[in-house]
Structure 1
Amino acid sequence: MVQDSTSGGTLALVLNAGSSSLKYQVVDPASGVARVRGTVERIGTGDVSDHDAALELMRADLQNHDVSAASLTVIGHRVVHGGPDLVAPTVVDDDVLSEIDDLARLAPLHNPPAAAGIRSARGHYPDVPQVAAFDTAFFADLPAAAATYALPSGLTSSGLRRYGAHGISHQYVAAEVAAFLDVPIDDLDQIVLHLGNGASASAISGGRPVETSMGLTPLEGLVMGTRAGDLDPGLLLHLLRHGDLDSDGLEDVLHHRSGLLGMAGTTDLRDLLDAIDRRDERAKAAYDVYVHRVRKYLGAYLAVLGGADVVTFTAGVGEHSPRVRAGCLRGLERLGIVLDEARNEAGAGARRISADDSPVTVLVVPTNEELAIARQAVALVGG
């Protein structure tokens, strides 16, 4: 096992490969410090032809920071969908990579670039173990009542179920909440709201998830930047029959042209809020739909848990938009949620934003999926 020669600690390279970008960090799992972080953009263009070319650029950047292959203990990869079998961090071999490829049928926008990133990393770093961490893994043991679709059993027996996503974030944040409150995680009923360009909610009891908003794919649930979240399945049939769309066109609408973008022409909550302040009616309507959906899930998960000890906001919007947090929680005092407006507007990092007398604690806790992946990967290979 190779140690970092400059810091004396274990180092993990964490890759998050998208269709047009490659995000990377070199992380010390023990300290949580990211020694190097960067992004290669415009993959698939004349600037960066493919993921191999992106890895070359990343490798040059790492060398400029004195990070060589010999200083890496492991390379961890974020993979959105692990299906029914890949339910824990897994050392990647040819069979695992083939299964990630096959699961593109459930995450067509996410798994193919992740697989491409893994292939490139294996080629560039053949002697460094590669570990895949799956966004669905945390939700693998959802209770059957939460995971099962009410479809004929012949269909659901083929693996059609609710898998969830953003599990790496939800698991990390739930543990950070317990540490922040200095309460054993087994004693907490939690609701975690991961609000970013992608958005999801989870209900977690004793450290284990009992509900989550995303389903078979990352399309279900909350309103997102370009995804609508919950839709009547009949609406999709209607669009196929009467909307001049085939399956590829419908997929494009659902993944790329819906959500906040479809309603208001932007995926950025900051731009949306600015437009509302300019009395843009489309922006106000989109914001109302977004907040209403979060409140709907929050109320549902309070019912699923029979009441919660803590509600936590995380990810880009959840961590940085006091206005959205206030909108999601306004008027919920009868449910035990009392927001402290001054706390909500101030501070940074992990913090409490509920009033002292609020029966339900409300927190903001930054997520760190790269650190979570680094720790999972290093634990698996024995660093």
Structure 2
Amino acid sequence: MNKITMPKESLIKTANPLILTINGGSSSIKFALFEAGDPLKRILEGTIERIGLSNATFRVKSSNQADNFSRLIAAPDHTAAVGVLMDWIEQHSGLDTLTAVGHRVVHGGPKYSKPQRITSEMVEELQRLSPFDPEHLPEEILLTGAFHRRFPDLHQVACFDTAFHHNLPRVARLLPIPRRYEEQGVRRYGFHGLSYAFLMGELARLAGKESAQGRIILAHLGNGASLAAVHDGKSIDTSMSFTPAAGVPMSTRSGDIDPGLLWYLARTEKMSAKQFNKMVNFQSGLLGVSETSSDMHDLLELEKQDDRAAEAVALFCYQIKKCIGAFAAALGGLDTIVFAGGIGENAPIVRARICDGLEFLGIELKEKRNVANAGVISATTSRVAIRVIHTDEELMIARSVCHALGLGMANEKRKFENATK
């Protein structure tokens, strides 16, 4: 990789600077563009999806309807996909004041706990950490390098998804394996941190600072799903662990399973570690149990006539319910539950099934509010407030960039601090 040199400080003083956020996944790139005002203003957002397949799609949605489009592109890998994105950036006349790029970096390892400018030293450290998360980190490193080569004067900032959980209590982050592995950085890290930080900021805004200091369970339920137990504004436990494959079942990830299964499959099916990793990350979860779809919406439509779909949905809800019970014990009680993510925000029946039977914890849903996807879906008699909050990782990345670069904007700085303190 070319050595990364720091851009000139004067660049961040550009009038109406623009911030591009990049959220790279294993087969997609999500991005958004913000004007760095106070507050931040989202100008457009887009995705490059199905990277590696013949029908990869590039979409942009803007407040200016004339800029909206969706088209098929050739994107056999992330290098080609980001090339298409950078070509579009160069050709778009409205992006001449692009000042910084904020990257969601899934794994920060034991070292990185705050958004930071990307340097050559950081890239070397992230390359060393790649075995921690081989599904995401190599592509994310590739994206930062591609942007530096094409736009060397742009500030680039890494925003770590593990940062929210960086200071987990020792008892929560220790893994019950030989101690020598802890010295290598093997511990519980937790993920979805950008989402959780945003949700905590929104909870403080909507319910007040006192509520945000209470005993809270955040449930980010989407293609990737995890829960976090938060007290006094700090993460005290989370369902994902050393990798994002742990915890509750997800769209294609297994969540927690018996580690002895690897040895069993190695003996009975000659399964390699690589094959096992592929199975638990891409062939399990909702897809593996249903054998039809990894999409919750599809499974809810199929469950009445397909027992496998019904079992996949039931297992998802059951495991999340168990996790809520465990985290309520870790918190010593419960004041608030927040549902977020594609499933958490848009699937009332899933929320209802998760909460059913948890009345002993003081959890009571109001059916009409739940069906309407209202902001507060708990009954007036519920001892626990149950909320649905739309998460926004891209906005959290943009705020993190402003913080890391020392851009002004007092209101946005306050929002960042409220979400990450």
Is the aligned partner of 1:39 residue 2:66?
no
**Which residue of structure 2 lines up, in the alignment, with residue 281 of structure 1?**
307
Aligned partner of residue 245 in structure 1, secondary structure: coil
Query: Which consecutive unaligned segments of at least 5 residues does structure 1 have?
Result: none
**Which residue of structure 1 lines up, in the alignment, with residue 385 of structure 2?**
361
**Which residue of structure 2 lines up, in the alignment, with residue 21 of structure 1?**
28
Within 5 Å, give how 1:171-210 maps onto structure 2: 171-184=197-210, 187-210=213-236
Once the 2 structures are TM-superposed, how far is the Cα of residue 113 of structure 1 from its aligned partner?
A: 0.8
Once the 2 structures are TM-superposed, how far is the Cα of residue 117 of structure 1 from its aligned partner?
A: 0.8
Tell me the distance in 2 between the aligned counterparts of 1:111 and 1:64.
28
Tell me the distance in 1 between the aligned counterparts of 2:40 and 2:303.
38
Residue deviations 1:192-240 (CA, integer Å, cap 9, x gap): 0000000000000111100000001111101100001011111122122
Residue deviations 1:32-68 (CA, integer Å, cap 9, x gap): 4321211223444671244443233223434565333
> Which is worse superposed, 19-28 or 113-122?
19-28
One-letter amino acid matched to 1:235: L
**Which residue of structure 2 lines up, in the alignment, with residue 310 of structure 1?**
336
Residue deviations 1:279-332 (CA, integer Å, cap 9, x gap): 210011111110000000000111111112110000100000001000100121
Structure 1 residues 45, 289: CA separation in 2 closer, same or farther (over 3 Å shift)? closer
One-letter amino acid matched to 2:338: T
Within 5 Å, give how 1:1-383 maps onto structure 2: 1-2=10-11, 9-28=16-35, 30-44=38-52, 47-62=74-89, 65-68=92-95, 70-184=96-210, 187-264=213-290, 265-277=292-304, 279-347=305-373, 351-383=375-407
Is residue 15–residue 22 contact of structure 1 (8 Å, CA) maintained in 2? yes
Is residue 340–residue 353 contact of structure 1 (8 Å, CA) maintained in 2? yes
Aligned partner of residue 133 in structure 1, secondary structure: strand
State TM-score, norm by structure 2.
0.85
Tell me the distance in 2 between the aligned counterparts of 1:17 and 1:186.
30
Structure 1 residues 10, 180: CA separation in 2 closer, same or farther (over 3 Å shift)? farther
> Which is worse superposed, 13-22 or 192-201?
13-22
Tell me the distance in 1 between the aligned counterparts of 2:131 and 2:388.
35
Residue deviations 1:110-153 (CA, integer Å, cap 9, x gap): 11111111111111221011011111111110000000012221
Structure 1 residues 378, 238: CA separation in 2 closer, same or farther (over 3 Å shift)? same
Tell me the distance in 1 between the aligned counterparts of 2:23 and 2:150.
16
Residue deviations 1:161-188 (CA, integer Å, cap 9, x gap): 0001111111111221121102346632
Residue deviations 1:243-295 (CA, integer Å, cap 9, x gap): 32111111110111010111112111010000113x21001111111000000
Is residue 175–residue 207 contact of structure 1 (8 Å, CA) maintained in 2? no
Tell me the distance in 1 between the aligned counterparts of 2:144 and 2:330.
38
Tell me the distance in 2 between the aligned counterparts of 1:82 and 1:129.
19
Is residue 373–residue 388 contact of structure 2 (8 Å, CA) maintained in 1? no
Once the 2 structures are TM-superposed, how far is the Cα of residue 3 of structure 1 from its aligned partner?
A: 6.8
Is residue 262–residue 273 contact of structure 2 (8 Å, CA) maintained in 1? no
- Indicate the percent of aligned positions where both proteins have the same amino acid: 38
Aligned partner of residue 143 in structure 2, secondary structure: helix
One-letter amino acid matched to 2:384: V
Structure 1 residues 182, 346: CA separation in 2 closer, same or farther (over 3 Å shift)? same
Tell me the distance in 2 between the aligned counterparts of 1:150 and 1:355.
40
Runs of 4+ aligned structure 1 residues displaced above 3 Å come to: 1-5, 28-33, 41-46, 49-53, 59-67
Tell me the distance in 2 between the aligned counterparts of 1:285 and 1:381.
48
**Which residue of structure 1 lines up, in the alignment, with residue 7 of structure 2?**
none
Tell me the distance in 2 between the aligned counterparts of 1:255 and 1:80.
15
- Number of residue pairs the alignment of both structures matches: 377
Is residue 92–residue 130 contact of structure 1 (8 Å, CA) maintained in 2? yes
One-letter amino acid matched to 2:378: S
Tell me the distance in 2 between the aligned counterparts of 1:103 and 1:289.
33
Once the 2 structures are TM-superposed, how far is the Cα of residue 4 of structure 1 from its aligned partner?
A: 9.7
State TM-score, norm by structure 1.
0.93
> Which is worse superposed, 16-25 or 101-110?
16-25
Tell me the C-alpha RMSD between the 2 structures: 1.9
Is residue 185–residue 207 contact of structure 1 (8 Å, CA) maintained in 2? no
Tell me the distance in 2 between the aligned counterparts of 1:4 and 1:345.
47
Tell me the distance in 1 between the aligned counterparts of 2:157 and 2:193.
16
